Structure formats: structure tokens, C-alpha cells
Structure 1
Amino acid sequence: MDGMAPRSVVLVAYSGVQLLDVAGPLEVFRAAADVVADSYTVELVANEPVMTSGGLPLTMDGPLPDRADIDTLVVAGGPGVRQALFDERLVAWIRTNAQRSRRVTSVCTGSLLLGRAGLLDGRRATTHWVATGTMSELFPKVSVESDQVFVRDGNVWTSAGVTTGMDLALALVEEDLGRDVALEVARWLVWFVHRPGGQTQFSGPLVDEPSGLLREVQEWVLANLGADLRVDVLAEHAHMSPRNFARIFRREVGLTPGAYVERARVEAARRALLDRSDGVETVAARCGFGTAETMRRAFHRQLGVGPAEYRQRFRRTAHPVGAANT
């Protein structure tokens, strides 16, 4: 960046840290520094040899630094946080350096360390869904938002489980460098869901492989997305009463018939938007939505973005990461 020093990102690790909590944000910031030259420097720091929870050793860039030029402090999570909460030296360092940093962030259960340092009192925060109860119990002054990808409260950002650290890092890049840079980084990391903070942290595949007692019905749905796929029609195809069909379908598939049909149509439309040049209205009609507005609402429910924005993100020509631009 012309005339500006790189923003210093310091990522804090400890023994038992989750590898993806570290690697995800690190790759986002380093990719951003390739897209916009000298936008970030990234350091991975700890005061001990670090073995990840998966058994891989990490090489640190150095010990916990003693300086006042940290722009973004990132505290990773993982099973090792249980012991780290009792590391008074680490907690004190986080507390002191949070006051020196422009913004303080955590990934997954790293938020528990922010809570232990007193940085979340009176704030909204999130963490991995399995640890929300623990956070509420340990830190009753924190307003825990259990079903968010990430939460921003002032200059403190907390993210949910594991891969949501990448969503958080992309949001930070967007705040610093703009939306176009964040989307370009997401594309080159093949990370579609640059999810907004308010979106649910649960995000599975849209449509699983057909299986179970109603496999034939699922396959018929996927082959006839433009047809009338109301419950009574599907029940007739399965030779069942609508009530019995709906009950068994939900038991076998884990979704109501209506939810399954919507997911299948969104998946087909998503592929069509990338592979074809047809207009949104044409894709909506072909995939059984009827209108572009109906498809838009379904996309927002399933993917968090509309069809036009989805197409723009992934059909746009991007610069290779490594070919820096300013």
C-alpha cells in the first residue's frame, strides 16, 4: 500500500490449538497481502513449543511479542484452551496487548481466553456451538450469541467454530481493503461462503446423496425440479398418504419434503448460474421456482446471498494470488 505501513496481524497459539483455527485466518491475511502488496504482515506466536490438537507441530515466528504496534490480535481456539485458561502469563499478555491493539479477535474457543482476560464483559460474543454453554457459565457478564458465524461488538470480534475463522478474517480484510479484495481472496482460496456475521454457523451441503427408503423419490425430485413437487404429488409417486409420506421422509432424509425440494432447486440453480449465461428469470423458471423473486428468497435462506451476487462472485475474472496489485 503506497505510503502506508503493513497492518500487523499477530496470531496467538498454544499447545493443543486447532490447526484450522490457525491456518484459516493466516492464509486469508497472507493471500490478501498477495492481492494488495504490503497490506499485512502475519506472525504466529507462542511462548511454548506448539503441538496442534491433531498431532502436528507448528513452527512459531517467535514468542509472544512485547510491543505496541499490533493492529489485529487473533486468539485461536482448540481443545488446548482448557489448559490455556489457567496459563496466567498468556492471559495477562492477551489482556495487556488487547489494550494496545486496534482490534481484538478470536477464532472458535479462543473466545474463552478473551473472556478469561475480561475482554468480553458487557459485550456480545460467540464461540463454537459446543462451548456456548461453557462460555455462559464461566462468564455470566457476556451476552452469548450461540448461532452466529461471527459477532462484532466494538473493536472485539469473535467467531464460531473452526472454519468460521476464515469468514471472520475475510470480514476484517473487507473492512480494511474493501469488498472486492475480500471476494477475490475468497475465490482464490475456493471459499465461497464469505458469510455475513448474522448467518447461522451451521452450513452443510445443500443436497446429500439420495439414500434410504425414499431414494427413488429423491432421485425423481432431482430429475424433475421444474415439475409440481408439492407433498401430495411426491406422496402419490411414493404410493403413500401425504401425512405418512411427510413423516417418513423427514425421518429418513432429515428434512421436510418442502425443505428438500428447495435445497435441490437452489443447488441446480447455483450450478446453472455458473455454467450457463441464461438470465436469472430463465434459471428460476427452469429450476422450478416460478419467479426470480422466489428464487432470490430461497438463495438468501440457503446461501446467505442472492442469485445475482452469487454469479458475480464466481464468474468474475480475478487476479492470481501472488500477482500483487495496488
Structure 2
Amino acid sequence: MDPVRRVVVIGYPAAELVDIACVTSALVMANWLHGSAVYDVTVATPGGRPIECGSGLTLQAQATLERLNGPLDTVLVSGGIGHVDAAADHRLVAHVRRLAQESRRVASVCTGAGVLAAAGLLDGRRAATHWFQADDLAATYPAVCFDSEPIYVRDGNVVTSAGVTSALDLTLAFIEEDVDADLARGVARHMVTYLQRPGNQAQMSMFTSAPTASGDVVQRVVDKITADPGADLTTASLADEAGVSEHHLTRLFLHDVGVTPGRFVRRARTESAAHLLVTTGLTMDRIAGRCGFGSAESLRQAFVSRYGVSPSHFRRTQAMRPDGPSDVDALAVEVTG
């Protein structure tokens, strides 16, 4: 029988409760589905004191950070609005550094990466964190390469994740790595979430984070692109509809969105394809056609470039139902979508 893996989740005043609960709930669910203890999960805080989380709710600790000793399988630091004070707490940081040396794997969620950075555990490494805090953390810890894009980043035995619910993606990845993919899928289904987003999937989708445009022209074009990614969306056609030159439209996009119209269209089409892959049973050819790709191979190339995995792999690991939607479901989506 494999030994039980000791996992310590470190919280502190004004930590984010969701950061902690995503990890602890998924690991406890893994134990239940496995039928025996795979993980021994402990929440530790400075002094073992209860902490008032950023949400205002109080969380009881199970262990005193200062009294914990290894060996540990994983030590994970939560993020939260209290991360700056936590990173400035030299005693807390020292104990994080000590436990990291006694752990097989070190991890953080969200701005917990700032605490790892303060402990010197991220020097020379690439690290994920919440997109909103990435620039501030990068300025504070110049020895760390903070990346605001991925869901999570693995650099050696250190794994850092993006904001809040990405803690669940990170934990599902751990379960698959530690046990197997079937257990990770079972946990995901019971928690009613995607089976697992690829670690390098972008944190922010353009469909939920529309760019802030300085004028109506870019906003109208963005709305057109996201409303129908399969339409004729060449820069020439978009510029003609917007009543401006191609050069001027490109200049406006670079200023407001940070990419050219062509790159924005490609990203919109790829994200639209990702949605269809996990919510319908449409074939690759039909998805490629609906999303404006000339062929399934063009879709595959764009998908690998964007997400680092093939569309078929994405569908296999992200499917919302174990058996996938039926052909009738797919037809209904195509007719009514």
C-alpha cells in the first residue's frame, strides 16, 4: 500500500478561503472516491490561531505552523488580500522556507506566490500568479519571472497557480500525477467542474474580459468578432465595415487591445472552438467550419499554439459528460446556438 501523502496548506490573516477550500475539498474527495486515505490534509496557520479570511469568515486551523515538521509530500501557500503582510512576516516566511526544504513538492495559489518569493523559493524560476497582481509582484521580486497568463506553472518541484479557482485545476493535476487520471476525473465530476484545464491555458477569456476600447470603432469590431467567429473576419472586411482603413484599424487594435485584428480573430476562433469541443459532440471538421478555420488541421495548429495540446486531447480531458453529448445534443446546439 502506498504511504499516505502529507499535505500542509498554509493560511494567514486575510487569506482567500476559496484558495484553501479548493485544495482541501478536492483532496478529501479523492480520499473518499479512492476508498482509502491517499492524502492527510492539514491547514496550518501562525500560532495555530483561527484566521479571519478575506471574505470575513473565520477558519479554524488544524496545526501550528511553527510546530510542524517534515517530511511532507506537499506544502502549499494560499493567496489572499493579506499576502503582502504575510510576505513581510519574517517568522512566517522562515517557516515556509524550512518546510519547503522538508517537502517533496512546493506550491502556491494566487498571490501565495509572493510568500514563496519572499522565502527565496522562486528565485530564477518562472511562476504563475493572479493576472491582476503579476506586475506588482514582478516589481517587488525581480529575481522571479512572474507570468500572468497560465493557469499554473511547474518549474522543477515548485508549482505555482493563478488566482482563486485555479487552485482546483492545480489540485486535480496533483491527483492525476500522484494517483491516476481516473481519480482526478472522478473528483472533477463530483465537484462539477471541468476535468482539468491545461496548465498553460490563459487565465482570462476574451469572452469574459472584453478589452477596454478608447473609441466605438474597436468595440464594434470586437463585438462583431466575438458574436460570430466563423464569419468573414479578414482585416480588410472588418476595416471596411468599420469605415476606416486597414492601417488605421490595426493601429487602433494595437493601442486598445495590444494585438493586431488578425491575431485577435485567431484567438477568438480558438476560444470558440474550445467551447464547442467541451459542450457539443460536433466533429472536428464541423467545429473548424463554424469557428472560421479552413480545415480541421488549421484548427489543430491554432489550438496547439494557443493551449499547448491538440483539440482531441482537450476534448478528451475536458468533456462535460463522461460519454459526451449525443448527436442529438450536438444538432440542437448547432440549430439553436
Pair in the same fold by TM > 0.5: yes
Residue 8 of structure 1 deviates from its aligned partner by: 1.8
Q: Go from structure 1 to structure 2 and tell me whether the alpha carbon gap of 1:205 and 1:58 turns closer, same or farther (over 3 Å shift).
A: farther
Total equivalences in the alignment: 309
How far apart in 1 are the matches of 2:84 and 2:208?
36
Q: 2:189·2:195 contact (CA, 8 Å) conserved in 1?
A: no
Amino acid at match of 1:55: G
Residue 263 of structure 1 deviates from its aligned partner by: 3.6
Residue 75 of structure 1 deviates from its aligned partner by: 1.6
Structure 1 match to 2:44: 45
Residue 181 of structure 1 deviates from its aligned partner by: 3.0
Out of 287, 300, 303, the position equivalent to 1:299 is 303
How far apart in 2 are the matches of 1:31 and 1:264?
35
Matched, 1:62 2:59: no
How far apart in 1 are the matches of 2:233 and 2:283?
23
Matched, 1:317 2:309: no
Amino acid at match of 1:61: Q
How far apart in 2 are the matches of 1:307 and 1:273?
7
Question: After the TM superposition, which of the residue ranges 216-225 and 305-314 deviates more from structure 2?
Answer: 216-225
Q: 2:108·2:161 contact (CA, 8 Å) conserved in 1?
A: yes
Residue 292 of structure 1 deviates from its aligned partner by: 0.9
Q: 1:206·1:263 contact (CA, 8 Å) conserved in 2?
A: no
Residue 95 of structure 1 deviates from its aligned partner by: 3.3
Q: Give SS of 1:102's match.
A: strand
Structure 1: runs of 5+ lacking an equivalent: 319-326
How far apart in 2 are the matches of 1:101 and 1:83?
24
Q: Go from structure 1 to structure 2 and tell me whether the alpha carbon gap of 1:282 and 1:127 turns closer, same or farther (over 3 Å shift).
A: closer
Q: Go from structure 1 to structure 2 and tell me whether the alpha carbon gap of 1:221 and 1:99 turns closer, same or farther (over 3 Å shift).
A: closer
Bigger relative contact order, structure 1 or 2 (CA pairs below 8 A, ≥6 apart):
1
Q: 1:35·1:185 contact (CA, 8 Å) conserved in 2?
A: yes
Structure 2 match to 1:213: 216
Q: 1:161·1:201 contact (CA, 8 Å) conserved in 2?
A: no
Question: After the TM superposition, which of the residue ranges 204-213 and 59-68 deviates more from structure 2?
Answer: 204-213
How far apart in 2 are the matches of 1:88 and 1:249?
45
Q: Give SS of 2:6's match.
A: strand
Out of 25, 28, 31, the position equivalent to 2:23 is 25
Structure 2 match to 1:230: 234
Amino acid at match of 1:44: V
Q: Go from structure 1 to structure 2 and tell me whether the alpha carbon gap of 1:100 and 1:265 turns closer, same or farther (over 3 Å shift).
A: closer
TM-score when scaled to structure 1? 0.77
Amino acid at match of 1:4: D
The superposition leaves residues 186-217 of structure 1 with CA deviations (integer Å, 9 ceiling, x where unpaired) of 454454483445x2764234466799734665
How far apart in 2 are the matches of 1:57 and 1:193?
30
Out of 262, 268, 274, the position equivalent to 1:270 is 274
Residue 5 of structure 1 deviates from its aligned partner by: 3.9
Q: 1:193·1:303 contact (CA, 8 Å) conserved in 2?
A: no
Structure 2 match to 1:102: 104
Amino acid at match of 1:279: T
Q: Go from structure 1 to structure 2 and tell me whether the alpha carbon gap of 1:188 and 1:252 turns closer, same or farther (over 3 Å shift).
A: farther
* Structure 1 stretches of at least 4 aligned residues deviating more than 6 Å after TM superposition: 209-212
Q: 2:207·2:226 contact (CA, 8 Å) conserved in 1?
A: no
Q: Give SS of 2:75's match.
A: strand
Structure 2 match to 1:135: 141
The superposition leaves residues 105-125 of structure 1 with CA deviations (integer Å, 9 ceiling, x where unpaired) of 22233334334445445x524
CA RMSD of aligned residues (A): 3.4
Amino acid at match of 2:245: S
How far apart in 1 are the matches of 2:265 and 2:154?
34
Residue 290 of structure 1 deviates from its aligned partner by: 0.7
Residue 296 of structure 1 deviates from its aligned partner by: 1.5
Structure 2 match to 1:14: 12
Structure 2 match to 1:243: 247
Residue 307 of structure 1 deviates from its aligned partner by: 1.9
Q: 1:266·1:295 contact (CA, 8 Å) conserved in 2?
A: yes
Residue 35 of structure 1 deviates from its aligned partner by: 3.2
Q: Go from structure 1 to structure 2 and tell me whether the alpha carbon gap of 1:27 and 1:258 turns closer, same or farther (over 3 Å shift).
A: farther
Q: 1:160·1:201 contact (CA, 8 Å) conserved in 2?
A: no
Q: 1:207·1:264 contact (CA, 8 Å) conserved in 2?
A: no
Amino acid at match of 1:66: L
Residue 57 of structure 1 deviates from its aligned partner by: 1.6
Matched, 1:91 2:90: no
How far apart in 1 are the matches of 2:261 and 2:127?
32
Structure 1 match to 2:81: 79
Q: Go from structure 1 to structure 2 and tell me whether the alpha carbon gap of 1:24 and 1:229 turns closer, same or farther (over 3 Å shift).
A: same
**What pairs with 1:109-124 in structure 2 (closer than 5 Å)?**
109-120=111-122, 123-124=124-125
The superposition leaves residues 275-309 of structure 1 with CA deviations (integer Å, 9 ceiling, x where unpaired) of 54332123212332011121122223444433212
Structure 2: runs of 5+ lacking an equivalent: 324-337
Residue 149 of structure 1 deviates from its aligned partner by: 4.2
Q: Give SS of 1:126's match.
A: strand
Question: After the TM superposition, which of the residue ranges 31-40 and 4-13 deviates more from structure 2?
Answer: 31-40
